[in-house]
Each structure stands twice: as C-alpha cells, then as structure tokens.
Amino acid sequence: MARDVFSDGALAALNGALEARDAAGRLGWALARYGDRLLLTSAFGPGGGALLHLWATVNPGAPVYFLDTGFIFEETLRYRDAMVARLGLTLKVLTPTLEKGAFLSKYGLTVYQDNPDLCCEKNKVEPLDAALSGFDGWVSGLRRSQGGARGETPVLVATEGPTKVHPLVDWSPRDVYAYQKAHDLPEHPLFEQGYTSVGCVPCTRPPLEGEGERGGRWAGSGKTECGLHTFLKTRGA
C-alpha cells in the first residue's frame, strides 16, 4: 500500500464512515489499509493506557514508538515500562541527534524557556519526522476533548507524509478513564498529583482550576503544541 492521495470528497466520505465506527473499528480499518506500514506513537501520559490497550488487542506485537527527548519525567519512564510489560508491547525509542548535555551546551541551558519551538523541533519533531518516512499511516491519541486546536480534529487527516489516524477522537476524558478502569489498566503515577497531561519536565505542571486538560503544558508561554501534530502539511479537508 502506497501513501494515500485522497480527493477532498473521498476524504470527507471516509471520515464520515469512520466517524460512525468505534475506536476498535477505526484501528481495524487502519490496520487493514496500512498493514505493517502503520505506526503508533505514544507519550505514555495520563490516559494513554486506553489506546495502548486497544493497539495491543487489535494489532498484537506491533511496535509502539516513544520519543525520549532527554527531558522526560522518571514517572513517565516507569509508567512506560510497566505498560510495556503489562500489554506485551514492542517498544521503539526515538531519540534526538544530540543527547541532552550536548544539546544544552550548544543551544543554552534554558533553551526550553528561551526558545521552546526550537527545543521541540530538535528533540521531538526531527526524530519523529525521520521515523515517519517508513510509514503510510500514523495512529495517535488526539482527542477533540483536549481542546484548543484539537477541538476540530477528524478521524483521518491527510498529510504530505503518512495519513494521521485518530481512533479516540470523539472520546471524553470520562470515556478514557472508564475504559482504563474496565480493563484494570494502571494510570500514570503523576495523575494522582493532578497532572492531566505530561510532557517534558521543564514544560509541564498540573493545570490550574479552570484550565483545560493540557493547560499545564508550556504554561504562560502561549505555546500549546510541541509541533508533532502540526509540522506535517495537511492535504484535503
């Protein structure tokens, strides 16, 4: 299967059909279409267990890609390893070209504050971009209920690279946690401390009252996305 080239009408029709399916049905569709050219990325954050469990159920043994920027919480690494063991996941770790020490020496000790877009570009976008060249479909856990620019996300997004697939797009936080409870999945250790979204240590705090699920990410900077979900040019509607 080569990379998709959709007309606007075909993409809209497909999205309409997939919107009517449940998350497992959307994943099954993606697996049938892309086979081993389908990749799943996970940040192993709070609520991440639901999609990981679905992936392990629909596509057992298939790899899960995790970006280790060098700034990841120890709690995330522990949670990641626990989920890998629990679900029998095949973990693939993507790393930046420069490890943390060399990166900070080159760009400055507070680059994540002074230029977070550059920091995310080097530590997140570039390693993922390199990995995506081997895939035609890319599954991730984006949900409309995460708010902000994610509020209008379709099931499928056609890009200049792989087609993005969002099986949980219409799930609420309540749906995620109900699924995890029903399957007795562990939760990220920081969730009980109020973290509802967890990225890198310097750029993550628990959201304040009234802030959205991702309100504690790059707080006060105006930045809301690392760029992983926005760097690929989209095609069609």
**H helix or E strand, kind and range, residue 164:** strand 163-165
- Residue 78 CB, shortest distance to ligand SF4, in Å, is 18
- Residue 103 CB, shortest distance to ligand SF4, in Å, is 9
- Residue 220 CB, shortest distance to ligand SF4, in Å, is 13
**3-state DSSP percent of the chain in helix, strand and coil, to 5:** 45, 15, 45
Determine the 3-state secondary structure of 167 from DSSP: coil
Active-site residue flag, 226: yes
Nearer to ligand SF4, 127 or 154 (CB): 127
Q: At what angle do helices 49-58 and 23-34 cross, to 10 degrees?
A: 50
Residues making contact with ligand SF4 (CB under 6 A) = 69, 71, 112, 116, 119-120, 123-124, 199-200, 202-203, 226
CA atoms within 13 A on the CB side of 2: 3
Beta partners for residue 148, in sequence order: none
Nearer to ligand SF4, 31 or 226 (CB): 226
Nearer to ligand SF4, 199 or 236 (CB): 199
Alpha-carbon distance of 146 to 4, in angstroms, equals: 27
Among residues 120, 200, 203, 226, the one annotated as catalytic is 226
**Residues labelled catalytic:** 226
